[in-house]
Structure 1
Amino acid sequence: MPEVPRTADPFTAADLVLLNGTVRTMDRAGTTRTALAARGGRVLAVDDDAAVRGLIGPRTRVLDLQGRCAVPGFIETHNHPTFFGLTLAADVDAGSPPNATIADIVARVEQAAADAEPGTWVRGYRYDDTLLADDRHPTRADLDPVSRDRPVCLQHVSGHFCVLNTAGLRLLGIDRNTPDPVGGAIHRDAAGEPDGVLAETAAFAAHAAMPKPETADLAEAIGLAGDAYLAAGVTTVHDTGLGLVGGPAELDAYRLARRKGRLRNRVRAYLVQDLFPGLSGGELSPVEAGVAGLGDDLFRVAGVKLWADGSLQGLTGCVSEGYACAPDKNGLLIFPQDDLSRRVATLHEAGWQVAIHGNGDGAIQAILEAYAKLGLDPLEGDRRHRIEHCQMVSERQLDQMAAAGILASFFIKHVYYWGDRHRDRFLGPERARRIDPLASAVKHGVTFGLHSDTPVVPVPPLEGIWCAVRRTTRDGHELGPEQAVDVDTALRGYTSQAAHLGFEEREKGSLEPGKLADIAVLSADPGAVAPDAVRALQVDATVIGGEVVWGGAGLDAAPAAGPAAGGGDGR
């Protein structure tokens, strides 16, 4: 691009201008233009190049998109930033890949145990029993030979299981006489001894009893996760489980990360139920009732996260019909119905938005029954309670959700990462083809966002959009193609509709004058490439509040003579 004229009055000129590309505004009309201007952190204008050039002043940073596509910054409606950051800095990467067998994981544990300080826990993350050649969970019998003196904890990729060695079990006081907690299980060997595998509330309790990371470590984890979000074009993250890893100290960690400049993406926090000790009895303290909505454009407390069931791949998701591989098993409900309903009602009355994890159709029904007791009417009140993951929601349940104004955040990447195993093992062909039924949600009028649940699977929203459009499994099969949606609908699940899930549609989610200038610059327009190519698109720049915070290298237009036109590339 030739040098651009910089004729606008410096006092009214834009801070940032994007030219020579495609700007998908994601407004209701689906408006597309070629240029955008931002000033004071907000969108100033979206128009053609000629009109926007008139807003360029001496100090305006001008990016030549060179045919690239600008979309609203992606909004991840269900993620775990602190947990994600900790996995990036973990002692042991137990995922597959790189591990093909339990022996591979054990070798990594052995090295980490040798390097660990005496008495400290060795932590590993992301193991997936269904991807290991052994086709089972690791147990203490696998871990003990390489870590007899150091406690070890391996976290399952779903977050719903963990494995402890004997030293870890001993430290937490778990033995053959320890009963299974409500909503959880301690797996046992043939002799009745704990084999090291803990499920659901048993795993959650174990994590709560382990030494918590220092606030500084949590703050750095938030920063590491943020770097990955920015590289993926994610400008807002819903932290659906603040307190899950570090308890109340996670709030302090966010404050510290902000002071140190490590909190760069926007966060909407959903506090875990454990931070409300009186909730099971239907009580909230005045402080607990009064913090909903506190915060600003960078960090805000948005709601409370509850769990209704576990994971389908762990056979702990609550299903109305038994699992295909275990017809006598229906999973489990974390809370009895009365308890779940009481918790929901208590939070609702205090003004909180509630987001409830529900994978199986049995759990989703329990959630809907809890919400039904509130007497919700979207025409009389806009509460926007949510169901998270919503993997096995039925047509009848979607009808119930639409009637009550219940929102969904779909874990769309289930289709790719677990679709084959849901079809062949967990659910069978008919139930598997209906997981994450986006087309049905559209038909019933249910507003939804899409998410990656990172660190469960990788962040990139472009992969999620591809999953929604193609419904391709890891083995290359189509799974329920009738539930696919078009690119525009999938994009809205990460932009305009995602903003609605957080009560922020007036502030973000579309590129319209007056809204926050949060932008992802993509290598091409997702709607103009073949559906299979969407996943391969790149994020070339990420903008938050009109500032390029990631990427941008090579996009700056030729600088004008005189005063500097802008800063570095933000990388």
Structure 2
Amino acid sequence: MERFPRPAERHRAADFVALGGTVRTMDAAGTVAGGLAARGGRIVAVGSDREVATLIGADTTVLDLDGRTALPGFVESHNHPAFFGLTLAAPVDAGSPPNDRVADIVDRVAQAVADRGAGEWIRGYRYDDTLLRDNRHPTRADLDPVSRHSPVVLTHVSGHFCVANSVALRTVGITAATPDPPGGHIARDDRGEPTGLLVETAAFLVTSRLPGQGVAELTEALLLADEEYLANGVTSVHDTGVGLIGGATELEAYQALLRAGKLRTRTRGYLIDGLVPGLAEGRPERPDLTGAGERFTMAGVKIIADGSIQGRTGCLAEGYACAPDEHGMMLLDPAELGRRIASLDAAGWQVAVHGNGDAAIEAIIDGYARLGSPSGTGRRHRIEHCQTAREDQLDRMAAHDVLASFFIKHVYYWGDRHRDVFLGRERARRISPLASARSRGIHFGLHSDTPVTPVPPLEGIWCAVRRRTRDGEILGPEQAVSVDAALRGYTIDAAYLAGEENLKGSLEIGKLADLAVLSEDPASGDPERIRDLSVEATVSGGEVVWARANARSAR
């Protein structure tokens, strides 16, 4: 016997109803309801169980919340879906855990070579030199003994480095005579021979030429990522770097999924600047993407200004605590960065610039400030990661209406090393300065930068509220925000970053019926437990697209 009657006649019945729990709408007033109804993928009613139940008809899909909590589907404001999917399918997991030493990674490479035979490319992802007991990058000297006839490439967890064995270096033509590319570095030993470590743009000399990254493989990678997003309540993703891994082939993979109707996560794309036709001449063109719409929209362009703090390539105004004479590196000259920003702005593109170090952030803000007042232009330019933004820089961001997507999970995953190794205590306590940004009215989203850190938004919300590191220290408690503010960083405020706040990010009449159903209400319990809550179901456009076995549905 069904728990809910079906009184509505066909002409007024909803396609989808969720009721029987808590619906936290995340609207401006913070409305909390009992249920909602949707028709044609859009919300048509939000109210009490009794009100919503009147819209249940013979063909209505009913999701029984059974005391659980529905939120807007999470919006991940900075991710790399193709890269993520490739890591899920890779033969070597080089991360820590499970690896404790370089030798552990080498053992996994040896097994992959044995499984695949000589000559086949072996790829591994997620190694982190700062978590290995050796406290160093692997080298070709480590890899060569187990891979004398197979090219091997291991990509750093940050995505800013890779390590190639001798076969891979020979295959792509990197020798002692190869010069460092602009914005990159080829690490060399005392004899001038490449060690295998390739930094920033030098890594692209290998990763851009990996075989088997055609449409079929990238399509499969996107589908693998898609499933993981939905399992974590993520219904929308900002792909901040379309083409970063597969070049123009990534666009073809998206088009293939759109034509097949298989892309379930709504994706907002930011094309890597190197793929923008005409940008070098100052006349950027918008590429045609057949089939674009609610499932995929090319929103803007991604530019990378500097590297990563944990790789000591993030560009800092003051030197690294562990190496005071090192300031990191700009991947683009500030004047060239400003020129690209101006050209893209004039062409109507939204611009998203990667900036970790405060010197890079200063150059990005300078570029945006030269555009003049944003009032009335609809301009929503962004700084990605924005990890070490100073108070004076946040003042300038507020003055020029510059938005931010903060990589909040840095606090947990690298906070201890930022404090003890890279930045020192005072600079480290200010990474991801959410409270300071919020006090100035700066719109910001939160992100995981997956595959750099795991997807779950609940973990990111916990990081924003608790600011606890791996070692258990609270890092900069004055920069913590409320649960409500953190939830908004993954819902309505993240939607604002892409100009989609009228379409998604809150559960209001007329908006998309995108929901994440959680085991408990994150706003009413112990904030320390937020990361331990589970996603029970994910709804996209009024359709249950992912559910645990115990998520009850009438039909």
Query: What does 1:416-427 correspond to in 2, within 5 Å?
Result: 416-427=412-423
Determine which of 342, 348, 351 is the counterpart of 2:348.
351
1:366 counterpart = 2:358: no
Q: Which moved more, 1:421-430 or 1:116-125?
A: 116-125
In the alignment, what sits opposite 2:267?
A: 267
Q: Which moved more, 1:111-120 or 1:95-104?
A: 111-120
Cα distance in 1 for residues equivalent to 2:439 and 2:204: 37
2:353 partner letter: I
Distance 1:87 1:290, change over 3 A: closer
1:447 partner letter: H
Deviation of the 1:306 alpha carbon: 0.4
Cα distance in 1 for residues equivalent to 2:23 and 2:290: 32
Cα distance in 2 for residues equivalent to 1:362 and 1:294: 40
The number of residue pairs the alignment matches comes to 555
Cα distance in 2 for residues equivalent to 1:176 and 1:552: 54
In the alignment, what sits opposite 1:37?
A: 37
Deviation of the 1:507 alpha carbon: 0.5
In the alignment, what sits opposite 2:466?
A: 470
Determine which of 420, 432, 439 is the counterpart of 1:436.
432
In the alignment, what sits opposite 2:245?
A: 245
Cα distance in 2 for residues equivalent to 1:332 and 1:168: 26
* Residue-by-residue CA offset, 1:442-472 (whole Å, 9 max, x unaligned): 0111100000000000000000000000000
Deviation of the 1:552 alpha carbon: 5.5
Cα distance in 2 for residues equivalent to 1:293 and 1:460: 31
Q: Which moved more, 1:465-474 or 1:10-19?
A: 10-19
Deviation of the 1:314 alpha carbon: 0.3
Q: Is contact 1:175–1:194 with CA below 8 Å preserved after alignment?
A: yes
In the alignment, what sits opposite 1:52?
A: 52
In the alignment, what sits opposite 1:304?
A: 301
In the alignment, what sits opposite 2:79?
A: 79
* Residue-by-residue CA offset, 1:59-112 (whole Å, 9 max, x unaligned): 112222121110000000000001100100002110001110000000111111
Deviation of the 1:38 alpha carbon: 1.1
Q: Is contact 1:71–1:520 with CA below 8 Å preserved after alignment?
A: yes
Cα distance in 1 for residues equivalent to 2:535 and 2:410: 23
1:506 counterpart = 2:502: yes
In the alignment, what sits opposite 2:317?
A: 320
1:214 partner letter: G
Cα distance in 2 for residues equivalent to 1:487 and 1:27: 15
Distance 1:241 1:212, change over 3 A: farther
* Residue-by-residue CA offset, 1:204-250 (whole Å, 9 max, x unaligned): 23222333512111101100000000000000001111111111111
Deviation of the 1:256 alpha carbon: 1.9
* Residue-by-residue CA offset, 1:233-289 (whole Å, 9 max, x unaligned): 0000011111111111111111222344531111111111121254234233xxx23
Deviation of the 1:342 alpha carbon: 1.1
Cα distance in 2 for residues equivalent to 1:74 and 1:358: 24
Query: What does 1:77-156 correspond to in 2, within 5 Å?
Result: 77-156=77-156
* Residue-by-residue CA offset, 1:416-461 (whole Å, 9 max, x unaligned): 0000000000000000000000000001111000000000000000
Q: Which moved more, 1:489-498 or 1:186-195?
A: 186-195
The percent of aligned pairs where both chains have the same amino acid is 63
1:109 partner letter: V
User: SS where residue 223 of structure 1 aligns?
Assistant: helix
1:163 counterpart = 2:163: yes
User: SS where residue 312 of structure 1 aligns?
Assistant: coil
Query: What does 1:323-402 correspond to in 2, within 5 Å?
Result: 323-375=320-372, 377-402=373-398
2:538 partner letter: T
In the alignment, what sits opposite 2:256?
A: 256
* Residue-by-residue CA offset, 1:473-512 (whole Å, 9 max, x unaligned): 0111100000000000000000000110011011000000
Cα distance in 1 for residues equivalent to 2:492 and 2:448: 17
User: SS where residue 313 of structure 1 aligns?
Assistant: coil
Determine which of 527, 531, 536 is the counterpart of 2:527.
531
2:86 partner letter: L
Cα distance in 2 for residues equivalent to 1:335 and 1:518: 39
* Residue-by-residue CA offset, 1:486-543 (whole Å, 9 max, x unaligned): 0000000000001100110110000000100000000011011101000000000000
In the alignment, what sits opposite 2:407?
A: 411
* Residue-by-residue CA offset, 1:25-81 (whole Å, 9 max, x unaligned): 100011111111111101111101111111111111222212111000000000000
Q: Is contact 1:292–1:351 with CA below 8 Å preserved after alignment?
A: no
1:13 partner letter: A
Q: Which moved more, 1:9-18 or 1:97-106?
A: 9-18
User: SS where residue 528 of structure 1 aligns?
Assistant: coil
1:533 partner letter: R
Q: TM-score, normalised by structure 2?
A: 0.98
In the alignment, what sits opposite 1:236?
A: 236
Cα distance in 1 for residues equivalent to 2:25 and 2:7: 26
2:366 partner letter: E
User: SS where residue 236 of structure 1 aligns?
Assistant: strand
Determine which of 480, 498, 504 is the counterpart of 2:476.
480
Q: Is contact 2:276–2:286 with CA below 8 Å preserved after alignment?
A: no
Q: Is contact 2:411–2:463 with CA below 8 Å preserved after alignment?
A: yes
Cα distance in 2 for residues equivalent to 1:118 and 1:144: 13
Q: Is contact 1:293–1:300 with CA below 8 Å preserved after alignment?
A: no
Query: What does 1:266-285 correspond to in 2, within 5 Å?
Result: 266-276=266-276, 278-284=278-284
Deviation of the 1:6 alpha carbon: 0.8
In the alignment, what sits opposite 1:562?
A: none
Q: Is contact 2:412–2:468 with CA below 8 Å preserved after alignment?
A: yes
1:434 partner letter: R
Q: Is contact 2:66–2:552 with CA below 8 Å preserved after alignment?
A: no
User: SS where residue 523 of structure 2 aligns?
Assistant: helix
1:453 partner letter: D
User: SS where residue 526 of structure 1 aligns?
Assistant: coil
Q: Is contact 2:258–2:295 with CA below 8 Å preserved after alignment?
A: no
Distance 1:113 1:278, change over 3 A: farther
User: SS where residue 289 of structure 1 aligns?
Assistant: coil
1:17 counterpart = 2:17: yes
Cα distance in 2 for residues equivalent to 1:117 and 1:347: 47
In the alignment, what sits opposite 2:546?
A: 550
Deviation of the 1:119 alpha carbon: 3.1
Q: Is contact 1:7–1:57 with CA below 8 Å preserved after alignment?
A: yes
2:327 partner letter: N
User: SS where residue 376 of structure 2 aligns?
Assistant: coil
- The gaps in structure 2 that reach 5 residues or longer are none
Distance 1:137 1:356, change over 3 A: same
Q: Is contact 2:266–2:296 with CA below 8 Å preserved after alignment?
A: yes
Deviation of the 1:291 alpha carbon: 4.5
Q: Is contact 1:410–1:436 with CA below 8 Å preserved after alignment?
A: yes
Distance 1:175 1:552, change over 3 A: closer
In the alignment, what sits opposite 1:490?
A: 486
Cα distance in 1 for residues equivalent to 2:7 and 2:400: 53
